[in-house]
Amino acid sequence: MQALALLGEVSEAYGGLETLAVEAALISESGDENANQRSESRVRYFYAAPDRVRYEPCGKDGIFQVADGSRLQNCFSHPHGRKQCTSIPVSEMLRLPHLFRPDSPIAGGDAAFLFQGIHERVVSAEILRQEEGCYVASVTYQPPPWAGLAVYGSAVRFWIDERNRMVMRQQGDVGHRFPTEDEVTWSRHTVLVRRMRVNETLPAETFVFTAPPDAVEETPRGCGIISMSGGSGFIEAHGDDRRRLEHRSQHHWEGDTLVETSKWKWRGLNLTFERRLAFSADEKELQVAERIAGPQGEVECRCKLPVA
């Protein structure tokens, strides 16, 4: 069996599905032999061709999604029990939830359960072995056309059922970095199928959504910003590399002085801005001192703003 031919058969098998019901474990591992973390959650996923989907956590917390062929409903559980729901027309969706993306093969919270397209954007593929009724395949995909915060490992492994070409396990490494920083933190993500039913009749109510009575309905908004304690950051990519931006900012207090630090990566240059803001003793002026550092040195400037 050739690996590329096997991936083509997997894509064809999923493309021909009428229904799919899966119970799976999502496992995330990070760290090294000295310090490491592992988390596991159980989820259920249901699909009916061509555009009905249900995704739910087995516990009380997590993301709940239902696409009924007309609208996609999302319900998020927040700390302290608050729930937020959003709704968008299916016609406005870029893709079905949890559909495999060759440009982002390990998607974390959007773990894949439909594998149409698994054979696309492949750089190399090989079958490593046969194990417990599965072909174990290692696949390397082309890097995504956009640059973001995620960096993918060299290969993704799939455990593919020899009988029906369903993917029973998916595993790969993902690295993340903060904007303007070079250090990458790696983690391993595994989607492990515990139970699967293929082309069995699903109850009609599977794809019916009823919002929880305490849920808050909100309009979904696109956002390219990440937030951190005391700061935030973003990456803004353009076709022209000269306009590509990376930004990260933080702030803290030094006595009564507010210190704001921001880092920019622009045209391949690393620029650092430190702004110190403090009120005068009589609180009639805001005193601002700024230091700007670049690859060839730094400059400082000071000013006073009357406020009273």
Q: How far, in Å, CA of 75 to CA of 33, rounded?
A: 37
Does one domain contain both 67 and 208?
yes
Alpha helices in the chain (DSSP H): 3-15
Cα–Cα nearest to 85, from 182, 220, 195: 220
Parent domain of 125: 3-221
Does one domain contain both 88 and 211?
yes
Paired tokens of 201: 């009749």
What's the confidence (pLDDT) of residue 290?
A: 94
What's the confidence (pLDDT) of residue 223?
A: 40
Does one domain contain both 212 and 231?
no
Does one domain contain both 148 and 54?
yes
Q: State how far the alpha carbon of 164 is from the alpha carbons of 98, 160, 257, in Å.
A: 20, 8, 65
Pairing label, strands 63-68, 52-57 = antiparallel
Does one domain contain both 217 and 231?
no
Does one domain contain both 191 and 261?
no
Does one domain contain both 130 and 231?
no
Does one domain contain both 188 and 76?
yes
What's the confidence (pLDDT) of residue 228?
A: 42
Q: What is the pTM of this model?
A: 0.70
What's the confidence (pLDDT) of residue 289?
A: 95
For each successive 10 residues of the chain (308 residues), what is the average pLDDT? 96 98 94 81 96 90 89 77 80 88 83 96 96 96 68 84 98 78 81 97 92 60 43 67 79 89 87 94 94 93 93
User: Which three-class secondary structure state does DSSP give residue 137?
Assistant: strand
What's the confidence (pLDDT) of residue 187?
A: 86
What's the confidence (pLDDT) of residue 60?
A: 73
User: What CATH number does residue 138 fall under?
Assistant: 2.50.20.10
* Contact between 168 and 14 (Cβ < 8 Å): no
Q: Which amino acid is at 32?
A: D
The total domain count for the chain is: 2
Does one domain contain both 170 and 113?
yes
Site of tokens 């989820």: 43
